[in-house]
Chain A
Amino acid sequence: MKSTRKYVALAFAGALTLAACGGSDGASTDSGMTELGAGEGAVNLVAWAGYVENGTTDPAVDWVSGFEKETGCKVNVKIGNTSDEMVELMQSGEYDAVSASGDATLRLIAGGDVAPVNTDLIPNYADVFDDLKNKLWNSKDGVAYGVPHGRGANVLVYNTEAGAAPDSIKAMFEADSPYAGKISVYDAPIYIADAAIYLMATQPDLGITNPYALDQTQFDASIKVLEAQKAIVSQYWSLYTDQQASLEAGSVTLGTSWQVIVNLATANGAKIAATKAKEGATGWSDTWMISSKAKNPNCAYMWLNHIISPQANAGVAEWFGEAPSNAKSCDLTADKNHCSTYHAGETDYWSDVWYWTTPTAECLDGRDVQCVPYTEWVNAWNKVRA
């Protein structure tokens, strides 16, 4: 299994729509199931590593056993490595539910592989943060197709002794950055969006309104920024341990990071802090969805309700290192500061987070021009890195 995180990243980079671009406001119309029956005795899940923990990784990390005891639904999980694999697995019809990322959700909805979700049957849905509900990537025409699992932003991590705290993404890109030569960059094609965010702030003439909807001119400008950035970069990271170790050793003093890495490195004594760049940042958000061919729909609904229940959601959020989707989770995390560290309920904080979305030829911002599709992003990133 490759870097799970990386797959998650790639996955999020998948083919969907955009958070900030707004969701439909309509209340979720009831569709699919109308009432919940008795559990079928089992539920088969497709999930990212770390999302369904039953105590085998760490006996203290277990939000599955309790569910099994309570509902009588035995949880069978198949860990998916890529969004692609997840879509394939869901198409087989063998699974009841999936933790789908930004790209998979659109394909699953369009392909009819997942069913609308009647949120009335999921009592805990009421406690989910409103700015995660009925977004373009988890609903269609105002009908919910799943429940939001959690979210995270790609933060700017910096060494607190290396100078004044940076607040701008410019420190990542400009040759006169005080951190030049000790900069750590996330090694994935989707990072091109970070360059686009930088251009949104510094070259408004380019007219970029969405970092995932770049026409050829905007895209080329972003790539130029990344080519120039190479000179001041010391590390492109794809394994989180790589960046964590460099932060601890001080060989990296600025980078794009995840809050969980920042926490782990700080616990090991690294003198670092993290912030979100004032120009905005990229980030991710996942959705649990139910198969349209689910053999165990009742257990699947129970699982969806369970995974966003305050207790389980708190467990996942802490273990995986992201903001929980359930507002009530915040009282139940082992680390009482978890929600404030991860800005769980701060609507303002998330307002300028551009959730990872796969760029498509049809511009996501609705412009009537050709945008550069994701496969071209991958090729361009390959050339930047080659």
Chain B
Amino acid sequence: MQISKRSQFSLRATTYGLLFLLYMPLLLIFILSFNTASSLTWPPRGFSTRWWSTFLDVESARAALISSTRLALIAMVNAIVLGSMLSFALQRFEFFGKNSLSFLAVLPIALPGIVTGVALRNTFVRFGLDLGFISVIAGHTTFCIVVVHNNVVARLRRISPNLREASADLGANSLQTFRLITWPLVRSSVFAGAILAFALSFDEVVVTTFTAGAGIQTLPQWILNNFSRPNVLPYVTVVATIVMVISLPIAWLAQRLADPPNEKLV
């Protein structure tokens, strides 16, 4: 496709300009983590490493980080299992209500978090289930299923059914076919979906707010708590910076897994 130098330049400028806009607020967060003042306001009032050097003393932040990680991991595993099952069923079989089911899978992410949160909370309370860690996991799993499902089903669509048939013709049973043919082809999409599910769960506020019982505090809730309760605010910028740095390699990995450049699928 022929594109004039001028259009190429303006497209490139748009892309890098957008990246600049995307990162400017993140840079601000980083700078403000060295602010002497205790508020998230620009311009910073002075330079201080106080928040960084005392961060490790804030046990509640670490506890929240651990709690969020644990929650996201469990929700992710649930989503892998349920999302993959759904993908295989939808891809392999024709059955009544198939379209409604794929509609259903999208619903938890398409409906606003407050609706999902309120609905689940209402149900748990009505059936006398305690709001606690389990109820948050249930909430997160619900909207994470779709992420894994989307990734896996997209990959399955690109795998030719001929591969499975050939495998069966060569005498492999369905488990062997799965282990030797299908799994290696979908593996990376499961991982990519899983990482997205983790990210989604890790940063979720609204569903957590409504499904968490007393005593559960995830990282986003800890942050929101900080915005609502005076005194510990600047640590929020420190935590945000740390999480970003940690997630850089994870995001890279997710991207690598999402587009398998050398796998011929069809």
- Taking Cβ atoms with an 8 Å cutoff, the residues of A that contact B are 1-6, 46, 49-50, 55-59, 61, 77-81, 85, 89, 239-242, 244-245, 248-249, 260-261, 264-265, 267-269, 319, 321
| Partner-A contacts on B (CB < 8 A) | 37-41, 45, 57-60, 63, 209, 212, 214-215, 217, 221, 224-225, 227-233
Contacts of B231 in A (CB 8 A): 57-58, 61, 319
B9 to chain A, nearest CB (A): 38
Contacts of A50 in B (CB 8 A): 229
Residue with the greatest number of chain A CB neighbours at <10 A, chosen from B63, B224, B229, B231: B229
Q: Is there an interface contact between A1 and B38, defined as CB atoms closer than 8 Å?
A: no
Known: A2-B209, A58-B232. A268 touches B41 (CB 8 A): yes
Contact present for A239 and B221 (CB under 8 Å): no
Q: Is the CB of A321 within 8 A of B228?
A: no
Q: Which of A46, A79, A245 contacts B39 (CB 8 A)?
A: A245
Given contacts A46-B214, A59-B57, A79-B214, is CB(A5)–CB(B228) below 8 Å? yes
Bound-state CA distance A50–B225 (Å) is 10
List of A residues within 8 angstroms of B230 by Cβ: 240, 260-261, 264, 321
Contact indicator B225/A4 (Cβ below 8 Å): yes
B39 to A239, Cβ gap below 8 A? no
Most A C-beta atoms less than 10 A away, residue of B41, B57, B221, B224: B41
Contact of A249 with B221 at beta-carbon distance under 8 Å, contacts A4-B229, A260-B230 already known? no
Nearest-neighbor residue (CB-CB) of B218 within chain A: A1
Chain B residues near A2: list those with CB within 8 A. Answer: 209, 224, 228
Cβ distance B217 to chain A, nearest Cβ, rounded Å: 6
A57 touches B215 (CB 8 A): no
Instruction: Establish whether residues B214 and A89, one from each chain, have CB atoms under 8 Å apart when the complex forms.
Output: yes
A-chain residues with CB within 8 Å of residue B45 when the two chains form the complex: 268-269
Chain B, residue nearest A76 (CB): B215
Min Cβ gap B127→A in Å is 15
Q: Pull 7 A–B residue pairs with CB atoms less than 8 Å apart, ordered by A.
A: A4-B225, A56-B60, A240-B228, A245-B40, A248-B39, A264-B38, A268-B45
Is A58 a contact of B58 with CB atoms below 8 Å? yes
The complex places the Cα of A77 from the Cα of B217 at a distance, in Å, of 13
Closest 6 CB pairs between A and B? A3-B228, A56-B59, A268-B37, A78-B214, A241-B227, A1-B221
Least CB separation from A319: chain B residue? B231
A265 to chain B, nearest CB (A): 7
Q: Is the interface of B mostly helix, strand, loop or mixed?
A: loop
Q: Is the CB of B39 within 8 A of A1?
A: no
Q: How far is the CB of B212 from chain A (nearest CB, A)?
A: 8
B220's closest neighbor in chain A, by CB?
A1
The minimal Cβ–Cβ distance linking A50 to chain B, given in whole angstroms, is: 6
Quick one: which of A49, A242, A269 contacts B229, CB cutoff 8 A? A49
Given A239-B227, A240-B228, A260-B230, also A85-B209 (CB < 8 A): no
Instruction: Report which of B40, B221, B232 forms a contact with A57, defined as CB distance below 8 A.
Output: B232
A239 to B40, CA, bound (A): 13
Chain A residue numbers with a CB within 8 Å of B41 are 245, 248-249, 268
Report which residue of B39, B228, B232 has the largest number of chain A beta carbons within 10 angstroms of its beta carbon: B228
A268 CA to B209 CA, complexed, in Å: 31
Determine the distance from Cα of A80 to Cα of B231 in the docked complex, in whole angstroms: 20
Contacts of A46 in B (CB 8 A): 214
Given A49-B225, A239-B228, A244-B39, also A1-B217 (CB < 8 A): yes
A260 surroundings in chain B (CB, below 8 A): 230
Q: Which of B38, B212, B214, B217 has the most CB of A within 10 A?
A: B214
* Among B57, B58, B59, B231, residue most surrounded by chain A Cβ atoms (within 10 Å): B231
Q: Say whether, besides A264-B39, A269-B45, A321-B230, A1 and B63 are in contact (CB < 8 Å).
A: no
| Closest residue on chain B to residue A80 by CB atoms | B214
Told that A241-B227, A245-B41 touch, could you supply 9 new A-B pairs with CB distance under 8 A? A57-B231, A59-B59, A78-B215, A79-B215, A239-B227, A240-B227, A260-B230, A267-B38, A319-B231
Given the complex, which residues of B lie within 8 Å of A261, measured CB to CB? 230
Nearest residue, chain B, Cβ from A88: B125
Q: Which A residues are in CB contact (< 8 Å) with B39?
A: 241, 244-245, 248, 264-265, 268
Q: How far is the CA of A211 from the CA of B212 in the complex (A)?
A: 35
A319 CB, min distance to chain B CBs, angstroms = 7
